[in-house]
Homo-oligomer: A and B are copies of this chain.
Amino acid sequence: MPIATLDVRSRNRQEFIPMTSELQRAVETNGWMEGALLVFNPHTTAGLTINEGADPDVKRDMLVALSRLIPERGDYHHAEGNSDAHLKASLMGSSVTLPVVNGRLKLGTWQAIYFCEFDGPRSRQVQLTFLQADSSR
């Protein structure tokens, strides 16, 4: 099947949650071999990004700098009080697309895939779609 879902649980209002090993496992479980994995986030106050996975200070620095740019409180009209989370979600993006070669996510040495929570804690879910590489040659 080309479609699957993956659950994510956030524990703080803002948090970058690593998903790389769960995604690699999903690729193996589903027998996806050659192509690209579309990871799609169906929530409007969360995003997805790829960045360094080795030093946790990187995600800390990214979240602090993002929140300095887009404060939680400001001249917002949206009554739910999470307008900052909506904009941060769009800045990170709603999906990542990852090359898969011989059943392995083809990431760089330092890369990790992060679920970007901006209005947690919440139970979240991402959708996985496997796209076929061209096999005509």
Would you list which residues of chain A between 78 and 119 have a CB under 8 Å from chain B? Answer: 78-80, 83-84, 86-87, 89-99, 101, 106-111
Instruction: Please indicate the chain B residues that have their CB under 8 angstroms from the CB of A94 in the complex.
Output: 49-50, 96, 111
Chain A residues with a Cβ closer than 8 Å to the other chain, count: 70
Selecting from A7-15, A17-25, A53-61, the interface stretch reads A53-61
Q: Contact between B137 and A134 (Cβ–Cβ < 8 Å)?
A: no
Instruction: Please indicate the chain B residues that have their CB under 8 angstroms from the CB of A97 in the complex.
Output: 38, 40, 95, 97
Q: How many copies does the complex hold?
A: 3
Q: Does A135 contact B (CB under 8 A)?
A: yes
Q: Does A42 contact B (CB under 8 A)?
A: yes
- Jot down 13 A-B pairs with beta carbons below 8 A, ordered by A: A32-B134, A35-B129, A43-B110, A44-B58, A51-B86, A51-B89, A51-B90, A62-B86, A64-B75, A95-B96, A97-B97, A130-B134, A131-B134
Q: Which residues of A contact B (CB under 8 A)?
A: 1-3, 30-36, 38, 40-44, 49-52, 55, 57-58, 60-62, 64-66, 69-70, 74-80, 83-84, 86-87, 89-99, 101, 106-111, 127, 129-137
